[in-house]
Structure 1
């Protein structure tokens, strides 16, 4: 029997645990996906309705959502 190749999930290679904000945002994104929301405008609208607010306390926009996802995914 062949042993499956080992790999790290992205979250396993983080340099620090997620912040409280990152955990809240991740939970909100998971809830949006569970409701069938998979497009950018739908996600931004969902976050503006349910929270959390964007890091600057302002409403989410496609631009600030994409910028944050790029930063967190780096």
Structure 2
């Protein structure tokens, strides 16, 4: 279950983790993602499904993806 965002002006408000991950992988690719966020689910046999499973169970990793997604929204 996703946590409730505090403010509707939050750029992540209403954006699903799957959408974030898909957009980031499409923009950066798995190799660059693995360099930017050093977690094995991006480096070894990556897939959206396995990465989502890990990110949903690991708050610190999910936070890093959200930070990178905010940066992605600024530069695209």
Task: Establish whether TM, by shorter chain, passes 0.5.
Answer: no
TM-score w.r.t. the length of structure 2 is 0.28
Of structures 1 and 2, the larger Rg is shown by 1
TM-score w.r.t. the length of structure 1 is 0.29
Q: Which is helix-richer, 1 or 2?
A: 2
Q: Which protein has greater RCO, CA pairs closer than 8 Å, 6+ apart?
A: 2
